Every structure is written in structure tokens, then in C-alpha cells.
Amino acid sequence: MSRNQLLPRDPSPPPDGPVDDSGCPILHVDMDAFYASVELLDRPELRGTPVIVGATGVRGVVLSATYEARRFGVHSAMPMTRARRICPQATVIPPRHAMYAEVSRGVMEIFKAVTPEVEPIASDEAFLDVGGARRRLGSPAAIARMIRAQVAERHGITCSVGVASTKFVAKLASRQCKPDGLLVVPADRVVEFLHPLPVAALWGVGERTEQALVRLGIRTVGDLAQVPAATLQREFGAVGAHLAALAWGRDERRVVPHAPDKSIGNEETFPHDVDDPATIRRELLRLSERVAARLRAGGHVGRTVSVKLRRSDFTTITRSRTLREATDVAKEIFDTSCELYEAAGLERVRLRLVGVRMENLIPAAAATRQLGLGERETGWREAEQAMDRAARRFGPDAVKPASLVRRPFGPIGP
């Protein structure tokens, strides 16, 4: 009997009957090529073609790529210059982070309607403990099928789901069934699933650790499982004991609902070092616009504005200021960022990177704004909310501040 029969990639049962998921309360749900998939919603003509999401400058990196591009070797975090070289036919799309945040929020709402036990790992993936939802919604595999259907129906994108007894195995399962798959690893088949995998599949095995293991003749998880834990601990310290446990599928970690974001920020690496204050301020404006849009998309406001300034020698300086009241307005963030930049005394210093971050976040619904005597509303928040609506309908460049209409270089990174 093949492993695919024991551990079906899709929701349909194997010929000998359904897979036993009774001991598998943990789901790992991972969106497929998330940023690229979201972009294809507005560009359906690009479906089935290589698409790369990322900044196009000299120092830009790949944020996401469709599976058609991945077949050429393109992957996230790859320098964009290399991605273009190995896949010149790919369409490159600049990122729209506010749009991704909005879709991510909708996906997480689907998860939280299933169970309060949701642990987001990133904007496009999360662990769920559905043990308490089984009586109401059915078996873990049935819940996984429901989640996949709702994500596709409501947001037009696909996800892959691993169903297992532990977080570690569930994450491996979702990776094994990508894209657009569902894989159940029964509790009594964990070792059978793990041992044929390459040792690099284990959490904690980076490139150097993998090389050290291969030198010892350890190439698969099964090879590792046969090495005494004491030997691994002697060779690799605490990591060795960790790997010994994982090799037998032991993972005691629980799904922990994630604390709210403590900060939201964006930063920019220039294609060439910059010492022109006007250019720096223009970049601070662009970053402030992006941070504010992400705050509004996530339903947050923040009180502390922080700027990050990295000199050409890689020396990094940060400055921050706490506002009187929390905000999600780009103009207020930008004005404070410029004041912090000027106070840092770097207006004629060559910079390679600048960043803007909002900290001390609270839900926007919990914030109250008190106007002083005689103070009038500025209308900036309403104007920026209108810009959000235009961006969702017509794209990120539909409306922007006049000073950002013409720029000497394109965006480099998130």
C-alpha cells in the first residue's frame, strides 16, 4: 500500500476506507503563493503564467511567486536580479501590502469562526486546534475541507491544510500537499510519514546542521531516529535533543492564540546610497502612507512613531516619539517621522535604508479622539479612507500625494 493511500493528498478517502483522523486535532493552514494569488484576482489573464511579486530595484527581493515561476527556481527572499535572470518571461508586480492585509484579515476571520484556538504564524498561515469544534462541525478532516472551501469561495484563493496530532507534523503535512491540497497524517502513522523525509525537513536543521548530519551519514529522518539521543546531544547540544524528539514525532507545543501585533512598519533599501534630504523625506512620506494603510486595514491605531536610519557604513540609528493620541493618519505619521529624521542630525549623511514603524498599537474601535477647545477636525483621516477605497478598486497608484507621482527610483522592499 502506498503512502498516498495511507495519507491522502486530497479530501477523498482511499479505496480501503477513510483515514482515521480521530487523534488529529491540529490543523496547519497555509495559503498557496499568497501575495501572487491575491494579485491574480485583479489580473486573471496571468493565471497559468510565471508571476513574481516584489520590488524591481537593484536591491529588491522576491516576496512571492506563482508555482509556474517556482518551476524555474524562483523562491521568496531571492534577489530580484537573479529571479529575472532565471525566469525572464515572468511578469513582475510591485507589492500592495494593504490589499494583502485585508485578505489576510478575512482569512483569519474564517479560522476564528471555527475555533478561538488560532495561532497565526504569518499573514498567510496559522495553526488551529479544532479539538473543541468537532462536536459542532465534524471531524478534523471535515473541518479542513470546510475551511478550504470557504477560503476559495470568499477570497478566490487556495490553501493547503495539514491535519495531524502535533503542530510539527501538521506543518510538514501542509508543505507535502502543496498546492491546493489536504493531507491527513493519522496519529498511528506519524513515524511512517516522517522517516522517509530528508533530515532537512526537521525544524532546527539549517544548512550547516544538515551538512554536519550528512557528514555523520544521517540523510533522512529515519537515519536520525536510529542515533541515540545522548549522541545527538553530545554532537549538537540542546539542538540534538530537540531533533531526537522530532524524529519520532514528539512535539509538546500547544496552539497558543497569538497576541495582537505590537507594531506595524515598512522600510526601504535604496538602490544607491542617498544624502538628499528631499529624497529622504519623500521616502518617509511613501512609507508613512503604507504604514497608515496597513494600520487601517488591520483595524489598528498606534501611539509611538519610530524611524530607522541606516548609514552607508551599515550603522543603524533609531528614533521614536510617543504621540498624545493614537493615530492611523499618514500625515501625522509623516510629520513626526520628518521631525525625528531632522533631530537625528543625518540630513546630509548618506543613507542606504530608511524605515517607519508604528508601535503601541490598540484596536481603532477602542481609541477615542478628544478635540481641544476651538480645535477642528482636519479631515485627513476621511481623505485617506477615501484613498483606501480608490486603491482597492483601481489599484495602489490610483491616488497618491503629488510629491510621490514622480520618483527617481522604484520601491525596493516591504
Residue 239: give its domain's CATH number: 1.10.150.20
- 149 within a domain of the structure (yes/no): yes
Q: What is the mean pLDDT of residues 101-116?
A: 92
H helices of 71-195, in order, are 80-86, 97-114, 134-137, 140-155, 167-176, 190-194
Q: Are 81 and 163 contained in the same domain? A: yes
Active-site annotation holder among 119, 125, 268, 384: 125
Average pLDDT of the chain to the nearest whole number: 85
- 168 within a domain of the structure (yes/no): yes
Quickly count: other Cβ atoms within 10 Å of residue 125's Cβ: 19
Contact 129, 255 (CB under 8 A): yes
Give the DSSP letter of residue 232: H
> What is the structure's pLDDT at 260?
63
> What is the structure's pLDDT at 90?
96
Q: What is the mean pLDDT of residues 264-284?
A: 91
Annotated binding site: 30, 124
Which of 412, 409, 386, 403 shows the shortest CA–CA distance to 334? 403
Domain of 157: which CATH number?
3.30.70.270
Cα–Cα distance for residue pair 219/223, rounded to 1 Å? 6
pLDDT tier for residue 205 given thresholds of 50, 70 and 90: confident
Count of domains observed in the chain:
3
Contact 381, 333 (CB under 8 A): no
> What is the structure's pLDDT at 150?
95
pLDDT of residue 92 exceeding 90: yes
Q: Are 281 and 224 contained in the same domain? A: no
Q: Are 146 and 47 contained in the same domain? A: yes
Cα–Cα distance for residue pair 36/41, rounded to 1 Å? 9
Cα–Cα distance for residue pair 155/104, rounded to 1 Å? 10
> Which amino acid does the sequence have at 91?
T
Cα–Cα distance for residue pair 232/333, rounded to 1 Å? 51
Which of 158, 247, 266, 163 shows the shortest CA–CA distance to 202? 247
> What is the structure's pLDDT at 387?
63
Q: pTM value?
A: 0.66
Helix, strand or coil for residue 220? strand
Angle subtended by helix axes 229-236 and 207-215, to nearest 10: 120
Higher pLDDT, 396 or 174: 174
Q: What sign does the dihedral 106-110-112-117 (CA atoms) show?
A: negative
Residue 145: C-alpha distances to residues 21, 107, 136 (Å): 13, 14, 15
pLDDT tier for residue 407 given thresholds of 50, 70 and 90: very low
Q: Are 300 and 396 contained in the same domain? A: yes
- Of the three residues 191, 217, 237, the one that is the final residue of a domain is 191
Q: Are 135 and 203 contained in the same domain? A: no
> What is the structure's pLDDT at 411?
42
Q: What is the mean pLDDT of residues 237-262?
A: 84
H helices of 219-372, in order, are 221-225, 229-236, 238-247, 277-298, 330-343
Annotated binding site for Mg(2+): 30, 124
The grid cell for 25 is 486535532
Q: What is the mean pLDDT of residues 14-24?
A: 72
- Of the three residues 191, 214, 239, the one that is the final residue of a domain is 191
| Chain position carrying cell 459542532 | 136
Q: Are 395 and 299 contained in the same domain? A: yes
pLDDT of residue 84 exceeding 60: yes
Of the CA atoms within 13 Å of residue 345, those in its CB half-sphere come to 0
Of 144-153, 246-255, 261-270, 320-329, which one has max mean pLDDT?
144-153
- 79 within a domain of the structure (yes/no): yes
Tens-place pLDDT, residues 334-384: 999 999 999 999 988 999 999 999 998 888 776 555 444 444 455 666 666
The grid cell for 370 is 478628544
Cα–Cα distance for residue pair 346/367, rounded to 1 Å? 34
- Of the three residues 150, 173, 191, the one that is the final residue of a domain is 191
| Beta-sheet pairing, 91-93 with 51-54 | parallel
Q: Are 241 and 274 contained in the same domain? A: no
Q: What is the mean pLDDT of residues 402-410?
A: 50
* Residue 101 backbone dihedrals phi, psi, to 5 degrees: -65, -40
Tens-place pLDDT, residues 225-247: 999 988 888 888 878 888 999 99
- 315 within a domain of the structure (yes/no): yes
Is 125 tagged catalytic? yes
Of 147-151, 309-313, 403-407, which one has max mean pLDDT?
147-151
Contact 142, 21 (CB under 8 A): no
- 184 within a domain of the structure (yes/no): yes
Q: Are 199 and 106 contained in the same domain? A: no
pLDDT tier for residue 408 given thresholds of 50, 70 and 90: very low
Domain interval for residue 267:
263-404
Q: What is the mean pLDDT of residues 276-298?
A: 91
Q: Are 208 and 335 contained in the same domain? A: no
Domain of 323: which CATH number?
3.30.1490.100
| Chain position carrying cell 537593484 | 58
- 22 within a domain of the structure (yes/no): yes
Q: Are 131 and 277 contained in the same domain? A: no
| Angle in degrees, CA 98, 101, 105, rounded to 5 | 145
Cα–Cα distance for residue pair 124/31, rounded to 1 Å? 5
Share in percent of the chain as helix, strand, coil (round to 5): 45, 20, 35
pLDDT of residue 5 exceeding 70: no
Tens-place pLDDT, residues 144-196: 999 999 999 999 999 999 999 999 999 999 999 999 999 999 999 999 999 99
Tens-place pLDDT, residues 49-68: 999 999 877 778 899 999 99
Which residues fall within 8 angstroms of residue 226, CB to CB, at 6 or more apart?
Answer: none
Q: Are 182 and 52 contained in the same domain? A: yes
- 253 within a domain of the structure (yes/no): no
| Chain position carrying cell 512609507 | 287
Contact 248, 193 (CB under 8 A): no
Burial classification of residue 253, based on how many CB atoms lie within 10 Å of its CB (0-12 exposed, 13-18 middle, 19 or more buried): exposed
Which of 244, 406, 281, 274 shows the shortest CA–CA distance to 352? 274
Which residue(s) pair with 319 in the sheet?
A: 307
DSSP run (H or E) holding 385: helix 380-394
> What is the structure's pLDDT at 12?
41
- 257 within a domain of the structure (yes/no): no
Q: Are 362 and 328 contained in the same domain? A: yes
